[in-house]
């Protein structure tokens, strides 16, 4: 939490500036300010007494006899009642919010800092407060304390404090846990001062947003009590006006109008302002979906005007995949496009393993996703072609693509645990694609899935078939994903760093498995990796990618013998120290032995 | 939980109940009569003893007798509860279904004008209090168009058609807030699930969008959706008090309002505990459903 909000205060456009540039914030904030000022200065704005009844002016129309908004059924000035009533309503709600903040912050600070029994106690108290509808508690309380608006609102504040409490408590805990390893205490600041300083910074945004929502709820519940006829009859308020008017809905429906409209607008403004505030405080710049659509439209228009090269596709029978001048870009928050792959060319031949190597951010994974048309939201192919067995994949519809994916091009992801659907069993996830692509019956698909699980080295395939993803280990999950990738006999497997997230011992086993499966099935593999050890282990050819461009390519053996580009040298250096590259005999691990073999 | 609530609320209600006998009998009653009632109600006893007496009754399902009417609290609640529960249940189920459709649809149409319209409407629907919708509904559909009776309630045992007719407007008034806030959260949950790694992997297996969205993503978004509905339920129980009052429906809302004005403490106590029990039961039910949806919860 601390890190998430920390950049807010340092980011160039401050939250306040962002708010001032947001029309929604300006309009809603302006309206709120207007209401606050109007109710605060009520006696200066209107000369009428809100409680002065004059039966001769009963139901006076708008503007009649000086009544700006007319008079109500007792001849009282509506405008004056709105202003003075707003005074009570807003003050009452502010009281509730004040109590909620005071109680919530204090208890949150204590619970978060000291923990132990107080933490337990207050946690239970908070869930107790939130278990029952506030209205029911308030009505119960009213039986004891009477109709006073202020007391009711103070009690409601206590009910609301549970939310603030949770917010502050978790912030304090986060800060405290960080601070004990921090040097701040050494600097001579006392714990309390550190906590207070950090917590205020972290919490003030969320609390402010919460306060706006609490204000809204407090005004609504207050009006609700008035509508039930349980309010303080001597006091004018928005809810009281509503209740009065509702009882005369048949006689004078117009009386409903002003308090309803005012309350609705006030509630709406509070929400909109709180939402703007949240956006302004949110340090992360995300590209809105609308921006993405606009950017995509622009890209499509560009493609249309420049004219797609309709050159004939000539691929020989051995060539599986050819990428030509591929450019990939992502939509940015300001509506521009950031190009991350700058026109690369590569091809994968049948039965061949091509290594695509580069560090994170080099565009290698994005290239892999682009082939399958699975780029993350906001990503798109800006130009170039992805040719697959004589077809341009860019021309396929999503429906047609679904027949290529899994059946012809399969995918092995990097992070095994997050790539299995947690709500379905391993078996269900294996069976579904096989039934679709291979047209197998449920029993046939089940048998094949269990055979596959056995083939990828899972000892108890029936049990794993029935297991949910959270019940298997990371290494096992990766085997399951490999089984899934080969299940429909694809021609090409795109493996995105398939061993990076695994333990070192498991890594070697998975690589062995991939190598043996590749040999057995004769399938082409595009191996995305940042590790030259893996390239040495499994790849026939290798392509080196840096910052969205291919900087070097060649046969793996040749590449290990000599590589020119400084970046390639750097990648070699990342797995081996420069001395060890030359001093192969002293190398301790398996990868080095392999290199020795290749380079000798 | 119910026990803790009963202790806290009981202490709050009874700590100040010493003058209750005088309030019940009015200013003209003789001091002896007041003293006798004070004795009868057991108000002279220390608070823990009073609570113990109440609890032994409550555990046998007896919430005592109203102070102001010669009626059992159980009976008063029993008569009122069906109306309220039917209202809240119908609203809750309808709002869950509607919110699911709207939320999922908005998530799939993300960034289009449909999504923006849903966003705007749900901000409005969630911000504006339900009673304002109720008032507007009564004004337009009951008074101006005359399609519905503005107030009143028909028991479903009397006439199902009449019941549907009488709860239509109240249900809509209760629904709007519920649908608006849940739809937003279901939309967010759906968008979150659709951006998960496993969704990409499912797509990479060549599954059709239909299966990815409605079988896999929806199933994973259903858990967070249920939690939203649990919160919604507590909110609706509060909102229904006001809605019942506006539409003149004889549910527990009007009972608690009346008892609150009178200071009929045994009735209030019974109502609060009943609500607590209902909330607990619903949460239990949702926990079971949660376990059915989420295999991780099921194991533990």
Beta bridge partners of B223: none
Percent of chain B with pLDDT over 90: 8
Please check the confidence at residue A404 and state whether its pLDDT lies above 80: yes
Count of beta carbons in the 10 Å neighbourhood of residue A10:
8
Identify the pLDDT of residue A586.
45
Q: Please, what is the Cα angle at B58 between B242 and B91, to 5 degrees?
A: 30
Structure confidence at residue A60 (pLDDT)? 67
**Nearest chain B alpha carbon to A136:** B238
Structure tokens at A296: 């995509």
Rounded-to-integer distance, Cα A487 and Cα A449, Å = 8
Banded model confidence at residue A2, pLDDT cuts 50, 70, 90:
very low
Percent of chain A with pLDDT over 70: 84
Chain B residues within 8 A of A132 when measuring between CB atoms: 5, 234, 272, 275-276, 279
- For A530, half-sphere exposure in the C-beta direction (CA atoms, 13 angstrom radius) is 15
User: Model confidence over B17-53: pLDDT tens digits?
Assistant: 666 666 776 777 777 777 777 777 777 777 777 788 8
Q: Average the pLDDT over A577-600 and give the result.
A: 46
pLDDT in tens, B136-170: 888 888 877 878 777 777 777 777 788 888 888 88
pLDDT in tens, A65-78: 666 677 777 667 77
pLDDT of residue A450: 93
How many angstroms separate the CA of residue A186 from the nearest CA in chain B?
A: 42
Most confidently predicted of B61-70, B94-103, B228-237, B260-269: B94-103
Which pLDDT score is estimated for A95? 93
pLDDT at residue A184, as a whole number: 57
Span B83-93, average pLDDT: 89
Closest-CA residue of chain B to A374: B200
At A44 the pLDDT is 75
Question: Could you tell me what percentage of chain A is helix, strand and coil, using 3-state DSSP and rounding each to the nearest 5?
Answer: 60, 10, 25
pLDDT tens for residues A332-342?
877 788 888 89
**Which one is predicted more confidently, A471 or A199?**
A471
B152 touches chain A (CB under 8 A): no
pTM surpassing 0.90? Answer: no
**8 Å CB contact of A268 and B4:** no
- As a whole number, the mean pLDDT across chain A is 81
* CA distance to partner chain A, nearest, from residue B268 (Å): 6
pLDDT value for A595: 45
Are residues B111 and A288, on separate chains, in Cβ contact within 8 Å? Answer: yes
Q: Which two tokens stand for residue A215?
A: 């204000």
Q: Do residues A134 and A155 make contact, with C-beta atoms less than 8 angstroms apart? A: no
Q: Is B255 on the interface with A (CB under 8 A)?
A: no
Q: Has residue A507 got a pLDDT over 50? A: yes
At A1 the pLDDT is 37
- pLDDT, tens digit, 9 for 90 and up, residues A215-231: 988 988 888 888 888 87
Looking at residue A444, what is its pLDDT? 92
Query: What band does A63 get if pLDDT is binned at 50, 70 and 90?
Result: low
pLDDT interval class at A5 (50, 70, 90): very low
Q: Flag if B198 and A143 touch (Cβ within 8 Å).
A: no
- The answer to whether A405 faces chain B, any CB pair under 8 Å, is yes
Percentage of chain B beyond pLDDT 70 is 96
Q: Could you tell me if A134 lies within 8 Å of chain B, comparing CB atoms? A: yes
pLDDT at A181 exceeding the cut of 60:
no
- Residue A279: what pLDDT? 79
Q: How does pLDDT run across B185-202, given as a tens digit for each residue?
A: 888 899 889 889 999 999
Mean pLDDT of chain B: 83
Establish how many alpha carbons lie within 13 A of residue B142's alpha carbon, considering only the half-sphere containing its beta carbon.
Answer: 23
Q: What is the 3-state secondary structure (H, E, C) of B225-263?
A: HHHHHHHHHHHHHHHHHHHHHHHCCCCHHHHHHHHHHHC
- Please provide the distance, in angstroms rounded to a whole number, between the alpha carbons at the two ends of chain B: 21
Distances (CA, A) of B146 to A247, B141, B162, B184: 18, 6, 15, 33
Task: Name the least confident of A130-134, A280-284, B235-239.
Answer: A280-284
pLDDT band at A433 (very low <50, low <70, confident <90, very high): very high
CB A258 within 8 A of CB A70: no
Please say if the pLDDT value at position A99 is more than 90: yes
What span, in angstroms and rounded, lies between the C-alpha atoms of B64 and A335? Answer: 68
ipTM for this prediction: 0.83
Q: Which of A461-465, B71-75, B93-97 has the lowest mean pLDDT?
A: B71-75
Asked if B209 has any chain A CB less than 8 Å from its own CB, the reply is yes
Mean pLDDT of the A537-546 span: 89
A to B CB pairs, distance under 8 Å = 224
CB atoms within 10 A of CB A252: 14
Confidence band for A580, pLDDT divided at 50, 70 and 90: very low
Residue pair B195/B242 in contact (Cβ under 8 Å)? The answer is no
> Are A483 and A419 contacting, i.e. CB atoms less than 8 angstroms apart?
no
Q: Which of B285, B280, B185, B179 is nearest to B228 (CA)?
A: B185
Q: Which residue has the higher pLDDT, B88 or A584?
A: B88
Give the pLDDT confidence score for residue B28 in this predicted structure: 73
CB–CB contact A227 B246 (8 Å): yes
pLDDT attached to residue A203? 80
Question: Given an 8 Å threshold on Cβ–Cβ distance, is B204 in contact with A411?
Answer: yes
Is the model's pLDDT at A355 over the cut of 70?
yes
* Residue of A31, A126, A133, A136 to mutate for B, most B C-beta atoms under 10 A: A136
pLDDT at A453: 93
Say which residues have a Cβ less than 8 Å from residue A120's Cβ, sequence separation at least 6. none
With 0-12 / 13-18 / 19 or more C-beta atoms within 10 angstroms meaning exposed / middle / buried, residue A11 is middle
Taking residues A417-425, report their average pLDDT.
Answer: 90
Chain B interface disruption, residue of A28, A133, A415, most B CBs within 10 A: A133
Provide φ and ψ at B141, rounded to 5°: -90, -30
Structure-token match 């029990």, residue found: B277
Report how far apart the first and last C-alpha atoms of chain A are (Å, whole number).
53
Give the pLDDT mean for A148-164.
Answer: 89
DSSP string, A291-334: HHHHHHHHHHHHHHHH----------TTEEEEEEEEEEEEE-TT
Residue A105 CA from chain centroid, whole number: 27
pLDDT in the model for residue A35:
87
Q: What is the mean pLDDT of the segment spanning A325-353?
A: 87
Please, what is the Cα angle at B155 between B150 and B158, to 5 degrees? 115
Q: Which of A441, A449, A537, A444 is nearest to A495 (CA)?
A: A537
Looking at residues A423-428, what average pLDDT do you find? 91
| Per-residue tokens: A438 | 């291979």
Work out the average pLDDT over B103-118: 85
Angle at A166 between CA A161 and CA A167, to 5 degrees: 100
Angstrom distance (rounded) from CA A233 to CA A241 = 11
Please report the residues numbered 356 through 375 in chain A whose beta carbons come closer than 8 angstroms to any beta carbon of chain B.
369, 372, 374
CB B252 within 8 Å of CB B242: no
Least confident of A54-58, A168-172, B30-34: A54-58
**Binning pLDDT at 50, 70 and 90, where does residue A600 land?**
very low
DSSP A483-551: HHHHTT--SEEEEESTTTTS-HHHHHHHHHHHHHHHHHHT-EEEEEES-HHHHHHH-SEEEEEETTEEE
pLDDT of residue A284: 60
For A27-49, what is the HEC assignment? HHHHHHHHHHHHHHCHHHHCCCC
Q: What is the pLDDT of residue A236?
A: 83
* A354 within 8 A of A379, measured Cβ to Cβ: no
Q: State the smallest CA–CA distance between residue A412 and chain B in angstroms.
A: 8
| Res B178 pLDDT > 80 | yes
pLDDT band of residue A599 (cuts 50, 70, 90) is very low
Q: Is the pLDDT of residue A12 over 80?
A: no
pLDDT the model gives residue A592: 46
Q: Give the whole-angstrom CA distance, residue B295 versus residue B300.
A: 9
For A239-275, what is each residue's pLDDT tens digit? 888 888 887 777 777 778 888 888 889 988 988 888 8
Could you tell me how far CA A424 lies from the centroid of its own chain?
23
Model pLDDT for residues B271-297, shown as the tens digit of each residue: 888 888 888 888 888 888 888 887 776
Highest mean pLDDT among A1-15, A443-457, B280-294: A443-457
Looking at the predicted structure, is the pLDDT value of residue A7 above 50?
no
Closest partner CB to A133 (pick from B1, B136, B234) = B234
Looking at CA atoms only, how far is residue B162 from chain A in angstroms? 23
pLDDT category at B91 given cuts 50, 70, 90 is: very high
Residue A243 with chain B: CB contacts under 8 Å:
none
Distance of CA A132 to the CA centre of its chain: 31
pLDDT at residue number A96 = 93
């Amino acid at each position: 939490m601390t890190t998430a909000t920390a950049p807010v205060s340092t980011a160039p456009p401050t939250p306040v500036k962002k708010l001032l540039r947001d029309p929604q914030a300006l309009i809603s904030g302006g309206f709120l300010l207007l209401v606050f000022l109007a109710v605060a200065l009520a006696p200066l704005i209107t000369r009428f007494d809100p409680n002065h009844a004059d039966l001769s002016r009963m139901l006076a129309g708008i503007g009649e006899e000086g009544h700006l908004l007319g008079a109500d059924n007792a001849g009282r000035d509506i405008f004056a009642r709105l202003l003075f009533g707003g005074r009570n309503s807003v003050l009452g709600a502010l009281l509730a919010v004040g109590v909620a903040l005071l109680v919530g912050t204090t208890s949150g600070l204590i619970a978060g800092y000291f923990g132990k029994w107080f933490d337990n106690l207050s946690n239970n108290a908070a869930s107790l407060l939130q278990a029952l509808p506030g209205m029911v508690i308030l009505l119960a309380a009213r039986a004891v304390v009477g109709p006073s608006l202020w007391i009711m609102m103070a009690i409601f504040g206590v009910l609301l404090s549970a939310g603030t409490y949770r917010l502050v408590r978790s912030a304090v805990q986060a800060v405290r846990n960080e601070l004990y390893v921090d040097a701040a205490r050494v600097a001579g600041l006392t714990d309390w001062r550190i906590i207070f300083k950090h917590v205020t910074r972290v919490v003030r945004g969320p609390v402010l947003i919460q306060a706006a929502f609490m204000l809204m709820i407090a005004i609504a519940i207050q009006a609700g009590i008035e509508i039930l006829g349980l309010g303080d009859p001597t006091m004018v308020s928005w809810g009281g006006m509503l209740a009065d008017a509702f009882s005369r809905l048949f006689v004078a429906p117009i009386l409903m109008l002003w308090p309803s409209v005012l309350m609705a607008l006030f509630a709406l403004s509070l929400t909109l302002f709180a939402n703007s505030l949240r956006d302004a405080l949110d340090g992360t710049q995300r590209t809105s979906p609308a921006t993405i659509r606009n950017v995509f439209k622009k890209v499509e228009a560009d493609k249309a005007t420049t004219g797609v090269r309709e050159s004939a596709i000539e691929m020989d029978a051995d060539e599986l995949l050819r990428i030509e001048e591929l450019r990939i870009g992502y939509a940015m928050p300001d509506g521009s496009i950031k190009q991350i792959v700058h026109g690369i060319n590569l091809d994968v031949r049948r039965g061949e393993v091509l290594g695509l190597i580069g560090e994170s951010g080099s565009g290698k994974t994005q290239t892999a996703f682009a082939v399958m048309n699975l780029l993350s939201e906001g990503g798109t192919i800006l130009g170039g072609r992805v040719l697959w067995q004589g077809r341009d994949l860019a021309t396929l519809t999503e429906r047609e693509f679904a027949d290529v994916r899994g059946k012809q091009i399969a995918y092995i992801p990097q992070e095994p645990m997050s790539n299995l659907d947690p709500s379905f069993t391993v078996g269900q996830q294996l069976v579904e694609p096989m039934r679709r692509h291979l047209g197998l019956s449920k029993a046939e698909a089940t048998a094949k899935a269990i055979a596959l699980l056995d083939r990828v080295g899972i000892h108890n395939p029936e049990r794993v078939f029935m297991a949910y993803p959270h019940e298997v280990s990371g290494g096992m999950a990766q085997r399951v994903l490999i089984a899934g990738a080969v299940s429909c006999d694809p021609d090409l497997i795109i493996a995105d760093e398939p061993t990076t997230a695994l333990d070192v011992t498991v890594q070697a086993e998975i690589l062995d498995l991939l190598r043996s499966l590749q040999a057995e099935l004769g399938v082409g593999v595009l191996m995305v990796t940042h590790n030259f050890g893996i390239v040495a282990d499994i790849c026939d050819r290798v392509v080196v990618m840096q910052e969205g461009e291919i900087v070097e390519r060649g046969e793996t053996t040749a590449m290990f013998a000599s590589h020119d580009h400084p970046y390639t040298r750097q990648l070699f250096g990342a797995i081996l120290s420069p001395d060890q590259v030359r001093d192969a005999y002293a190398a301790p691990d398996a990868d080095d032995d392999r290199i020795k073999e290749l380079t000798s | 939980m119910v026990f803790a609530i009963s202790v806290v609320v009981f202490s709050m209600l009874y700590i100040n109940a010493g003058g209750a006998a005088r309030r019940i009998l009015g200013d003209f009653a003789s001091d002896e009569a007041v003293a006798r009632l004070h004795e009868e109600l057991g108000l002279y006893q220390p608070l823990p003893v009073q609570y113990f007496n109440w609890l032994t009754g409550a555990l046998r399902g007896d919430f005592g007798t109203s102070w102001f009417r010669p009626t059992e609290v159980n009976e008063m609640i029993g008569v009122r509860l069906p109306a309220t529960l039917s209202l809240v249940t119908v609203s809750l189920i309808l709002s869950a279904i509607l919110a699911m459709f709207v939320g999922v649809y908005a998530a799939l149409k993300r960034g289009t004008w449909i999504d923006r319209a849903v966003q705007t409407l749900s901000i409005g629907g969630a911000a504006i209090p339900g009673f304002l919708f109720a008032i507007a509904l009564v004004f337009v559909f009951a008074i101006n168009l005359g399609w519905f009776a503005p107030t009143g309630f028909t028991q479903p045992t009397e006439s199902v058609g009449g019941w549907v007719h009488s709860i239509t407007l109240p249900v809509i008034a209760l629904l709007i807030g519920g649908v608006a806030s849940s739809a937003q959260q279901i939309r967010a949950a759906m968008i979150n699930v659709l951006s998960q790694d496993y969704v990409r992997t499912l797509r990479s297996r060549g599954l059709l969008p239909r299966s990815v969205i409605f079988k896999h993503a929806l199933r994973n978004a259903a858990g967070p959706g249920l939690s939203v509905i649990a919160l919604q339920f507590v909110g609706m129980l509060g909102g229904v008090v006001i809605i019942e009052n506006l539409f003149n429906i004889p549910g527990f809302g009007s009972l608690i309002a009346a008892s609150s004005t009178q200071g009929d403490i045994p009735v209030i106590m019974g109502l609060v505990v009943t609500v607590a029990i209902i909330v607990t039961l619903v949460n239990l039910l949702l926990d079971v459903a949660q376990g059915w949806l989420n295999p991780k919860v099921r194991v533990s």
